[in-house]
Amino acid sequence: MPNRTLYLETMGCQMNVLDSELVEGRLRALGYEKIDDMTSADVVLINTCSVRDHAEQKVLSRLGALREPKERNKDMVIGVIGCMAERDPEGIFRKMPHVDLVCGPGELNKIPAMIEDIQSNRRRAIALSQSLSRKSTPLERALEYDSVEALDLSRDPAPSANVLQSYIRVQRGCDKFCTFCVVPFTRGAERSRPPAQIVDEARMLADRGCKEVTLVGQTVNSYINRDGDRPVRFAELLERVSAVGGIERVRFVTSYAGDFTDDIFEVMRDVPEVCEYLHLPVQSGSDTVLRRMRRQYTVGEYLDLIDRARDFVPGITLASDFIVGFCGETETDHDASRRLIERCRFKNIFVFKYSPRPATVADKRELDDVPDAVKRRRNIDLLRLQEGISLATNQSLIGQTVELLVEGYSKAALKAQEAEQTRGEEVSWRRSDQLVGRTATDRIVVFPGKETHIGRFADVRIEAATALTLHGTIIEASLRGDAVPGPNGMSLPVLNAG
Ligand code: SAH
Ligand code: F3S
């Protein structure tokens, strides 16, 4: 089969990153080669995010840029996959008539057949999973064989892929229906994968050099499946994945504060592989706002959970998400979010301006009444407040030694190396050999090192700190584990980037 080319761009969350990897694997098996030039590819797929309007606008502008290349090459197949495809298929075809393929996140295993159909029959192909029933319980659903599992089961990382740190899906969908959120509409009902499949996947990845897995789900801690007659919950799943030989670190995102149980803290404390890091979105520090968001916990309950996390797991770091300018949010509500940030001392936070999403309860029943300028001010305000906290905690680490997994070259080093190659520029050793690693607590550390350090664990002495990054010196004698060739630059994208 002649080589065909694929351009695949991923927007949004870690779930999309994983979905793209799986789709790419399927197409690679059919002879597709991934390229960086969108305009000359045989097949262009954009894996989309619908969480905020801004993310959808970005997709539309990307698709707009494909109009002209498609005029020139009528055989080009243009596909929109992921959440926006599921949310608004008609809108996509109406605004972008040159799109050939629309495929929701639950139907991605159909993509190879859809592309084939478009190429042979010159017609559009569409696959959505809107009909997913919510009548059964999450456990009952987990037991139903889900056609989409075929995608996870077919996982086959490219020989050149960086598997050092890999995502593993443990759950699909979400049943929480927070009033602002589109995810339950685009990703469907919550279903957890069988534990044996997850463990097998971890083993396959470990065999290829993976040392760190991140278990992903919209509300991972609500994971529930079965082993024979016995229910298996998230704490047990963490233990089972940690027991896989070669897997040295286990992370998980995202947790839901409404149903987080202490057995998970016990595993974080007792199982060395499980990282002492918890991403626990709170969204707001005001009970009135939380109630309108239907978050199913109060500020008091959230704070109590944070206290228990720190009691059970000494040294744990916490991260959170905030939405500013949700319908009816007052200055008093905003001050409450500030107080919560001061009290919790998160490692980092993600702050989003409220963006009304069609079909959600908030969009149907409430008024998006906070002006954009106010949203912007509150956004900056929370980030500034957090920056001070992050800086202070990072500076308190100066002089300490931390253990990290060396992930690759730092972004600055990659840029410097590129300049060296393309323009023949001399780049100082220190800049082009800056490596980056991450502690179990998800702190990012930059230090001078060698390519052979990549993929190994090492101790680094912290010498300087900014709010985002620690800088230090590697203690060479502490290096342990084998180097993993291939990783180049920070392998895991920033979460919640959508
Ligand atoms: N549980 C999911 C949440 C997905 S959305 C997870 O895996 O992270 C990620 C974050 O986007 C949410 O925590 C929330 O802070 C933000 N968000 C969701 N809907 C939003 C909206 N309509 N406007 C602004 N921010 C939103
Ligand atoms: Fe969205 Fe709330 Fe689920 S934020 S993904 S509906 S937990």
Give the residue carrying structure tokens 């897995």.
213
Facing residues of 470 across strands? 445, 465
- pLDDT tens, residue by residue, 9-63: 999 999 999 999 999 999 999 999 999 999 999 999 999 999 999 999 999 999 9
pTM equals 0.93
Task: Give the confidence band of 494 by pLDDT, cuts at 50, 70, 90.
Answer: very low
Residue nearest atom 1 in ligand 2 by C-alpha distance: 181
Which domains, and CATH codes, for the chain? Answer: 4-132 (3.40.50.12160), 161-395 (3.80.30.20), 401-480 (2.40.50.140)
Instruction: Please give the distance, rounded to the nearest whole angstrom, from the Cα atom of residue 250 to the centre of ligand 2.
Output: 23
Measured from CB, residues less than 6 Å from any atom of ligand 2 are: 174, 176-178, 181, 183-184, 218-219, 256
Task: Give the confidence band of 495 by pLDDT, cuts at 50, 70, 90.
Answer: very low
Task: Give the confidence band of 146 by pLDDT, cuts at 50, 70, 90.
Answer: low
Instruction: Please give the distance, rounded to the nearest whole angstrom, from the Cα atom of residue 132 to the centre of ligand 1.
Output: 22
Q: Average model confidence (pLDDT) for the chain?
A: 92
| Count of C-beta atoms within a 10 Å radius of residue 35 | 13
Of 117-126, 147-156, 301-310, 398-407, minimum mean pLDDT range: 147-156
- Among the bound ligands, the one closest to the CA of 176: 2
Facing residues of 250 across strands? 213, 274
Top mutation candidate among 18, 51, 169, 346 for ligand 1, by most atoms within 8 Å of CB: 51
- Among the bound ligands, the one closest to the CA of 280: 1
Top mutation candidate among 323, 324, 366 for ligand 1, by most atoms within 8 Å of CB: 323
Question: Is 355 close to ligand 1, i.e. is its CB under 6 Å away?
Answer: yes
- Among the bound ligands, the one closest to the CA of 295: 2
Top mutation candidate among 181, 254, 292, 355 for ligand 1, by most atoms within 8 Å of CB: 181
